[in-house]
Amino acid sequence: MSTLPPCPQCHSEFTYEDGGRYICPECAHDWSAQADAAPAAEGAKVFRDSAGNVLQDGDTVTVIKDLKLKGAGGTVKQGTKVKNIRLVDSDHDIDCKIDGFGAMSLKSEFVKKV
């Protein structure tokens, strides 16, 4: 029986460790081994970025794809750095301010921790 955690995406039990990262051979998902070892407060929701890294209030993230803004128009470009995020339990996990756009909410699946 393996002591490694199952894949968070496809729940495969065949994960393996490679240089401090866990890798799933079935869906090719990889995530940080330290993120899995971080203790979570009981009952608290754990927010993860697109790579599976645990996010916390105050982190800096990068947008991984162009995001069209609804209402105001415009586009947040891929690679835009967002500093000092705040995590909220809502349909959009991240509240932040982006230079040139102001306050907005983002989904954690579209960002990567820096």
Assess whether 64 and 105 both reside in one domain. yes
- pLDDT at res. 2: 57
Assess whether 28 and 67 both reside in one domain. no
Does 55 map to a domain?
Answer: no
Does 11 map to a domain?
Answer: yes
- In Å, the largest CA–CA distance within the chain is 53
Model confidence over 13-63: pLDDT tens digits?
A: 888 888 788 888 888 888 887 755 555 445 578 899 998 899 999 999 999
Note down the domain range covering 29: 1-36
Provide, rounded to the nearest whole percent, the portion of the chain with pLDDT above 70: 89
Q: Using 50, 70 and 90 to split pLDDT, how confident is the model at 1?
A: very low
Assess whether 64 and 32 both reside in one domain. no
Assess whether 73 and 105 both reside in one domain. yes
Q: If you average pLDDT over residues 60-69, what whole number do you get?
A: 93
CATH of the domain at 91: 2.30.30.40
Domain tally, the chain? 2
Does 92 map to a domain?
Answer: yes
- pLDDT at res. 43: 57
Put simply, whether the predicted model's pTM sits higher than 0.75 gets the answer: no
- pLDDT at res. 96: 94
